[in-house]
Structure formats: structure tokens, C-alpha cells
Amino acid sequence: MGAAIRGEFPIFETATYLNSCSQGALSRGVRAAVEEWLSGWDANGAEWGYWVERNEAFRASIARLLHAQADDVAVTTSVSQGVSALVSGLPLEGERNRIVISEYEFPTVGQIAHAQELSGAEVVHVRPDDDGAIPPERFAEAIDERTALVCCTTVSYRSGHRHDVAAIAEAAHAAGALVLADSYQACGAVEVDVRSFGADVVSGGTVKYLLGTAGLGFMWLRPEVHEQLIPTQTGWFADEDIFAMSIADYSPHRSARRFDSGTPPVPALYAGVAGVSFVEEAGVSAVEAHVRGLVDRLLDGLDELGATVATPREPARRGPLVCVRSTDVDALVAALAAEAIVVSQREDKLRVALHLYNVEDDVDRLLDALSRHRALLA
Ligand SMILES: Cc1ncc(COP(=O)(O)O)c(C=O)c1O
């Protein structure tokens, strides 16, 4: 962890990389995997058999990551594709037509929920309290027997808040609703164990803490859920026999593969399998502990600077992302970039993301730069 594996990520030769919430750093192993894809293409053209094997290798690695079974994992091309397929299988036009969403959902989840209004669904927003947190009670107040689905992202991409998914799920299940925890900002840096997590559906992808690239995601569904839901947004890789090539009917796969789609994103699969295996080797619990230590150090330093931190203090209510308010966040991100410190922004907040390759020195370099740009902190 930290210094021991940093040599695998060339970006650290030139930059202090604190932007895993946007894109995880490229490792030598992921580069080699993508080059393997290119070499295979050069040598053999289509390698369909191996591509399908890579698809299943990815599914299996996500199953291990989530402590799940491979049959309960869909391989998707994005969270958007998976969640669209999910809601296409929900009967939203009857009495149970509500989707409850937290104010911290990624835009795609909110937009897909609102798109269902065109076919009779209603969307209820759960807004944060004055301190920025959305406690489970706020969800409970919004959930009733009309609720079909509750969306509570695990870690907010724009504030760093971590939801109490298990408590929210308790309220949702008592009312007969399903729970989707979009865990893109958690998986790889925070332990997500579906056996105790509470959610019925967990979505994510490989761009961030799983160290792969764009075009590849996943969606775990509780078996009782995927056995019952029939998605109408589908594709031939969701069929019970992809190579039957039949246009005579629609026969969704008996497993969560029914939420897969068309041709798998082959280059992203090579990268994704390599990225996830790196995280797996490090061990998510160990990554989580390492990241928690770095976040503690960052929060202490930010307090000393008198900065306004939007992310909660309690370790259980935060993940790898720390958001700090700025008076001019564009100028602050640019000033840090000029010092080769790579961070990102949302609204008026600087986003600092810590991961397995970061070390205390990265945190100290950032704090030192922030002390020099103190005027840009709110
Ligand atoms: C919480 C969360 N969900 C979803 C996404 C991306 O969704 P998609 O895979 O549909 O592009 C992101 C990307 O930033 C995210 O942070």
C-alpha cells in the first residue's frame, strides 16, 4: 500500500495525483492488459472466445469484490445502462409508482428516475439537513407503500457524504420498496459486502477506485430481485443463449446476465480485469484503513488552516473523498494544477480523493499548497 506500490503508477513521477474520484491512475499492469488486447487484435483479428471469457472474468472479479455470486452480477457498459435496464423492469405505472432519490445521486440516476415520469412514475427528492447530511429518517419520511425504488448513493460524488445504506434499506423494505445504492464512489476504496450491506441493487464502474477505464460497469442484484424483474431494455448478451442468434422471441437469461446489454466493451474489459485484480491483491479492507488514515491527516490539516470542510468527520459517514469549500474553485484547481497537484471540483467545492497509491507526503504537499492559497479557501 502507499509507497510500496506507487512505482506501478507512472503518474506519480510527475504529479501529486488526488483525483481518483474522476479517474483512477493508470498502472503498468492495466497498460499491459490494454496492449495485450491490441496485440491479440493484430495477431488474430476477432478473438470472440477470449472476449467472452474476459467478460466472465470481470463478472467473477466483481462478485469476489462484493462478496457475491457471479450469477447475481450484470456486466454493464455504464451505470446509466444498468440502471436504465433496472427501471425498465419495474412496474411503475400502478399504485407503486414512486422513485425516491437522494439529493446526492449522480445526475444519471436522477435523470433516469425523472425520465420515468413520462410513463406515469413520480419522483420524490430527499434533501439534506442544514449540516449537509441526509440521515435515514429523512428517507423514512419520504418512503411509503407507493414507493417502488429508493436510490441512496453510497458515497456522494459531490460532497463525500456516505449514506447509512443498511438503515435506509430497513425503512424501504418495511414499505416493500427496493433499494439501489450506486456505489461508484465507494467500490475499491470502501468495503461493500452485499451480504450485510442492505441494498437490493449495487451499481458501479471501473473508471475510479477500480483503476480501469471508461465503458465498463457492473450491477449486482439480489437473486430474488433479478429473478422477478424482466428488463425491457435489453440486448443479445442478456439472452439465455447469446450464440443462438434467434430473433423469434425474447428469452432473458435466468441470472443477472439479463441486465447485460450488447457487445461487451472489449478494451475496457481488459483494463477492468487488470484494475480490479490490483485492488483485490491489495485487499479492500486494507485500502479502506489506509485511506482513512490519510483522510484523518487531511482533515486535521484543513482544520489547522481554518478551511470549511463539507464532508462529515465521522469515519462511518465518509469515504475516500474530501470536499472543501472555496471562494473561487476554478482558480484554486488551476493554482494547484500549476504545482502539479491534480484535484477536481464540483460546485463551489474542491474534491480531494485518496486511494491505495497515495501517501502522507501527498497530503502534506496539498496542505502546504493550500496554506499558500489560503485566500481561495472559504
Ligand atoms: C456516483 C457515480 N455514479 C455514476 C457515475 C457515472 O455513471 P456512468 O457509468 O453512467 O457514466 C459516476 C461518475 O462520475 C459517479 O460518480
Name the pTM for this structure: 0.98
**Where do runs of H (alpha helix) occur along the chain?**
3-6, 28-44, 48-66, 79-88, 107-115, 136-142, 165-174, 194-197, 223-228, 266-282, 284-305, 329-338, 360-372
Q: How confident is the model at residue 262 (pLDDT cuts 50, 70, 90)?
A: very high
- 217-221 and 73-76 beta bridge pairing: antiparallel
Task: Ligand 1, residue 207: give the atom nearest the CA.
Answer: 13
CB of 272 shorter than 6 A to ligand 1:
no
CB of 182 shorter than 6 A to ligand 1:
yes
pLDDT at 93: 82
Alpha carbons within 13 angstroms on the beta-carbon side of residue 84 total 17
Probe ligand 1: pick from 79, 105, 192, 346, max atoms within 8 Å of CB? 79
**Taking 90 as the threshold, does the pLDDT of residue 174 lie above it?**
yes
CB of 24 shorter than 6 A to ligand 1:
no
Residue 225 buriedness (CB in 10 A; 0-12 / 13-18 / 19+): middle
Say what the alpha-carbon torsion angle 371, 373, 375, 378 is, to the nearest 10 degrees. Answer: -80
| 162 three-class SS | strand
Probe ligand 1: pick from 184, 201, 219, 323, max atoms within 8 Å of CB? 184
* C-alpha pair distances (Å), 147 with each of 101, 126, 161, 250: 11, 13, 24, 29
What's the angle, vertex CA 205, arms to CA 53 and CA 227, rounded to 5? 70
In whole angstroms, what is the distance from residue 351 CA to residue 349 CA? 6
pLDDT at 304: 98
Mean pLDDT (the chain, rounded): 97
| 341 three-class SS | strand
CB of 104 shorter than 6 A to ligand 1:
no
pLDDT digits (tens, 9 = 90+) for 209-229: 999 999 999 999 999 999 999
pLDDT digits (tens, 9 = 90+) for 266-278: 999 999 999 999 9
CB of 157 shorter than 6 A to ligand 1:
yes
pLDDT at 127: 98
pLDDT (mean) for 27-45: 98
CB of 153 shorter than 6 A to ligand 1:
yes
CB of 203 shorter than 6 A to ligand 1:
no
Alpha carbons within 13 angstroms on the beta-carbon side of residue 189 total 33
CB of 78 shorter than 6 A to ligand 1:
yes
In whole angstroms, what is the distance from residue 291 CA to residue 300 CA? 14
In whole angstroms, what is the distance from residue 134 CA to residue 137 CA? 8
| 232 three-class SS | coil
Between the CA of 79 and the centroid of ligand 1 the distance, in Å, is 6
Lookup result for grid cell 415520469: 117
Q: Could you give the percent of the chain with pLDDT greater than 70?
A: 100
CB of 159 shorter than 6 A to ligand 1:
no
What's the angle, vertex CA 25, arms to CA 23 and CA 26, rounded to 5? 115
In whole angstroms, what is the distance from residue 220 CA to residue 70 CA? 9
pLDDT (mean) for 8-24: 98
Q: What are phi and psi of 75, to 5 degrees?
A: -95, 120
